[in-house]
Each structure stands twice: as structure tokens, then as C-alpha cells.
Amino acid sequence: MSDDLKITYAQGTDVGVVRDHNEDWVMIEDPSDPAMKRKGRLFIVADGMGGYQAGEVASRIAGETVRREYYADPSDDPTARLRNAVQAANREVHGSAQSSTSHTGMGTTMVVTALIDNKAYIANVGDSRAYVVHQGVLSQITQDHSFVGEQIRAGILTKEQARVHPQ
């Protein structure tokens, strides 16, 4: 992996002002192992679905599964590795929700970035978003996978209406 691109990164979460507990899970993997290093750095944010049972469990399971599966995948295609890892995470979360009554209905959204050399490969599920800052301008680069996101793309809602939409 080239060290041409110098980045600074940090991680953290905040419970916010609405919930009484944090359902977020974040991870930055900057591997030193050569086999993992060639697959790049991995940045994961999983947001357990607020109000749903065991959101913090879902976000942890999803994040840990993506990390494990991404680096274990033998594919040379980063896009395929991300897709396979996210699909595996979905299966793990769904399986856990089905096997435990205390996990029934749990879910999470997620955004994952694999940074390899000077390229970023991004996957998202739900309304966890990725943004880019270019020349001081912040731009959303992922689409929300939600009812409201679909309504915006269909031209039924404006972004302003979406900000106050109950869903």
C-alpha cells in the first residue's frame, strides 16, 4: 500500500440528546500485517436503530462481522470484498435476531470505507452516510436507503420536507 496519501483520523461516538444509551459502534483498522495491509485501512460506523431492541448488539455484530469478513475474503476486488462483508453482516444480525427473543427486531445502519492507496471504496446500508469535503465544501456521496430517501429521489419530497418528516 502506498503511503502517498497522508490522512488524520479519529473515532468516537456520542449518545446525543434523545436516547439514554449509545447504540453506535465505530472501528478503524489500520493493519500492520502485510496480507491485511494490502487490503487497506477499514473505517466502519454502525448505528444501531434507535428505539429498536438491542440496537447496540446489532451494530457491534455488524461491525465485527464486516471487519472479519472483509479481511478474510480472498477476492482481489475491494468492491466485492465490501459487498460480501456487508451481506455477511446482514446474515449475522438477522440470525441473531431470529435466535434470541431479547434481540427480536434489532437492526443497524452502516457505512464502511476501505481506503487502499489513494482510492476510497464505500458501502452503506440504511441512512448511515459518507461525505467528502472538497475545497471546503461538504457533500453527501452515498444515498439513504430509507422510505424518506426514496421519496426524495422520486421527487415526492424535497430535502427541506425530509428534514422534518416523521419517518
Mean pLDDT of 20-30: 84
pLDDT above 70: percentage of residues in the chain: 91
The confidence score (pLDDT) of residue 1 equals 46
Mean per-residue pLDDT of the chain: 86
Q: What number of H helices and E strands is found in the chain?
A: 5, 6
Give the global pTM: 0.82
| Range with top average pLDDT, 16-20, 77-81, 135-139 | 77-81
Residue 129's identity, in one-letter code, is: R
